[in-house]
Amino acid sequence: MKELTEEFLAWIYGIRNMSARTVTAYRRDMELFLSLLDEHIENLRDVTLADMQLCISRLSGKKYSPGSINRFIASIRSFFRYCLRMGYIGDNPAASLKTLKAPRKIPRFMFREEADEICGLPESAGILWPERDRALFEVLYSSGCRVSEAAGLTLESLSRDLSGAGVTGKGGKFRRIFFSGDAEAALRAYLPLRKLHIPAERDVRNLFVSRRGAPLSVRGIQYIVERYAGRTAEGKPLSPHAFRHTFATSLVANGADVRVVQELLGHSSISTTQRYTHITTARLIDTYRQAHPHGGGLEESEVNRVVQDSLTGVESEKK
């Protein structure tokens, strides 16, 4: 079982081109699966559907969230599909493994005023590296790229006029991302300073670097966003992914075709993009108040219910 697990992980990394972070998540789930199986089970062909259901029951008993359990189930399904494909088993006991019902969380996104505030904070906060941080926030906000894609941007990936860049997203898929005028201006202010922070003996091609000239990691970008989020008017926690959600909801709210947004985000499935048509709470409120004579009395709890119902509808369409 352990040998097959390592073979499976090598396959999804080398053949399926999954990212190192995704492979790490699969590894954690597979190690958890092996630890939960009864000790007498050593051979792959001895694992039954009942054994898998028992593992899930044990995770529930340990208070794992439905989302974490469903990710665990997805990993197990992928592993057994691989084993079936390679002929290690004659049938797939994980094929009938059902996921748990879990409430869809509304992605955290910013309204325009909030996004403008955090993009402007580096100039006034007096912390970290203002020029770099402004350029980073503007790139995230105007392109909708993933944090891993932002960390992977290089000087060579930028267009000559700084109007966009090429990125390689999930599954090794290449796409173009585009920058706003504000992002272009921020990059022009940052790039000359970036050069001064790179030691002469080092050849660092990453666009975003630390003050010591080292490439910014995903965790480094997360740290920068967290530092500024604490200085906003609301002071609420914020992740780099909120910029991506904001990018998507802004486009959809302003009438962009969902399939165009899908291409810009690099989503492989349209159903993943469709959720953004249902989460702009402010738009729901405005529409209700304008269309209904008593719309001014709409409670926030009712809006949340409408949003949740919409998300549930998207999940049903996906299935």
State the Cα–Cα distance between residues 40 and 90, nearest whole angstrom.
21
Catalytic residue among 146, 194, 275, 278: 146
In sequence order, the β-bridge partners of residue 174 are 168
d(CA 110, CA 130): 21
Catalytic site residue 318? no
Q: How far apart are CA 210 and CA 1, in angstroms?
A: 42
The catalytic residue among 241, 283, 288, 289 is 241
Residue 75: helix, strand or coil by DSSP?
A: helix
What token pair was written down for 169? 């997203």
Distance CA 6, CA 26 (A): 11
Please tell me which residue in 244, 245, 275, 278 is annotated as part of the active site.
244
Q: Is 101 marked active-site?
A: no
Among residues 82, 194, 276, 278, the one annotated as catalytic is 276
Is 305 an annotated catalytic residue? Answer: no
Q: Which residue among the candidates 27, 170, 231, 283 is catalytic per the annotation?
A: 170
CA atoms within 13 A of residue 166's CA, in its CB half-sphere: 7
> Is 276 designated active site?
yes
Picking from 118, 150, 68, 105, the residue whose alpha carbon sits closest to that of residue 238 is 118
Task: Verify whether residue 146 is a known catalytic residue.
Answer: yes
267 a catalytic residue: yes
The catalytic residue positions are 146, 170, 241, 244, 267, 276
